[in-house]
Amino acid sequence: MPAVVRSEFALALNQVATERGIDPNVVMETIRAAIMAAYRKDYGIDELQVLTVDLNPDTGEARVLQEGKDVTPPGFGRIAAQTAKQVILQRIREAEKQAVLSDFQGKIGGIVPGMILRFDGPNVIVDIGRTQSVMPVGEQNPAERYHLNQRLTFYIEGIRETMRGNEIIVSRAHKGLVEGLFKREVPEVAQGSVELRVVAREAGNRTKVAVYSTAPGVDPVGSCVGQKGVRVQAVINELGGNEKVDIIQWSDDMKLFIMASLAPAKDMEVTLNEKKQAAEVLVPDDQLSLAIGRDGGNVRLAAKLTGWKIDIKGKGGGVTAEEPANAEAAPESTTASTEEKKEEAAVELASEVAAEVVADEVKTEEAAVEEVQSGPETEAAQEAEPTPAQDSTDTKGN
């Protein structure tokens, strides 16, 4: 078979298609459209006239046809190349972007490594390989602080249409990130012998994972934890190192499942209400804080994991975790009694002040009466007594 000598045009066409990851036929169609646009622009051809472009894929020779007749001007190839250059580049960029979006369309719901490139206001721009993605504020982990060139693992949430076009949205707060990390770190999960039945997550705080084994003889919890906790620790490190991960055995018995979901609390008694899908849990007083968790996080995640409403009460008559009415009644009564005491104290203080004012007025009146009575005698005594100046004058005269 004779060797096929490929022209420079054919080599360049294949190179562009390979580098950009697009079909060579798309590049050919782009060149045809650009040549037609350049011909209409330079020669003022009406849009209604039907034109076609014949492009040889081997030599790159282009001819403009109008109703089957060759109307290509002399030297049009060089002129068209200069005029159509920007159009071709723009069309190739658009085709490349569409190819990338189509590629990532099949990766939605998976995880991908990436590097933080820059900050666009509150959003973070992430390099995920062939393209860039956006991580909005709502998809950021509140416990993490991001910096440039930081390498992390991201969850591909989807592709959204924005004012700038289609953008790939990645997340560090989605529960799918935990699922993807377990699939990567635990071979049993990747193979399907261990299933992640339910995942409940509060990013930056705590995550609860209910696991189930589909193969006999496989411990689902032990497989996810790993020897000396190596596997789960790798997941925790990828989540930032501060997030706690609870791995729980899935159970069809809802009582056992609710008790396991409230870990690390122990010695609990569960009463179920099937109609309302509510569970009342009695917990020892020393385990109450563990069952509720910081800011109610533990019981909230347990409710998400099980799908049941969970009320937690202490065995010693503690306050119910989800009964705000009882919790608010006591402060109101205490406030009322405090206000009554304040009013009584104010009344007593006012009466004391009034008594002191009356006593001061009586003393003032008595002092005024005494001053009036002693007034004439005082004046007479002052007239009878000589002043020191007068005594000295009399002495000098004598």
Lowest-confidence pick of 153-157, 167-171, 234-238, 342-346: 342-346
pLDDT at 193 over 70: yes
CATH 2.120.10.30, applies to 265-333 = no
Query: What pLDDT band is residue 258 in, cutting at 50, 70 and 90?
Result: very high
Judge contact between 207 and 178, C-beta under 8 A. yes
Which comes out higher in pLDDT, residue 397 or 53?
A: 53
Same fold for the pair 175-250 and 265-333:
yes
Place of tokens 């109609």: 275
Predicted local distance difference test score (pLDDT) of residue 70: 79
Strand 309-314 and strand 278-283: pairing?
Answer: parallel
pLDDT at 348 over 70: no
Phi and psi, residue 203, nearest 5°: -60, 135
Predicted local distance difference test score (pLDDT) of residue 294: 85
Domain-by-domain residue ranges, the chain? 8-100, 107-173, 175-250, 265-333
Query: Hey, what CATH topology would domain 107-173 get?
Result: OB fold (Dihydrolipoamide Acetyltransferase, E2P) (2.40.50)
Percent of the chain exceeding pLDDT 90 equals 36
pLDDT at 369 over 50: no
Lowest-confidence pick of 157-161, 262-266, 392-396: 392-396
The rounded mean pLDDT for the chain is: 78
Q: How far apart are CA 340 and CA 20, in angstroms?
A: 80
pLDDT at 61 over 60: yes
Q: Judge residue 242's burial from the number of C-beta atoms within 10 Å of its C-beta, 0-12 exposed, 13-18 middle, 19 or more buried.
A: exposed
Query: What pLDDT band is residue 96 in, cutting at 50, 70 and 90?
Result: confident
Average pLDDT of the segment spanning 293-305: 89
Residue closest to 324 by CA, chosen among 334, 311, 337, 307: 311
Predicted local distance difference test score (pLDDT) of residue 300: 92
- CATH superfamily of the domain spanning 175-250: K homology (KH) domain (3.30.300.20)
Structure confidence by residue, pLDDT tens digits, 111-170: 999 999 999 999 999 999 888 999 999 999 999 999 999 999 999 999 988 887 889 999
Query: Hey, what CATH topology would domain 8-100 get?
Result: N Utilization Substance Protein A; Chain:P; domain 4 (3.30.1480)
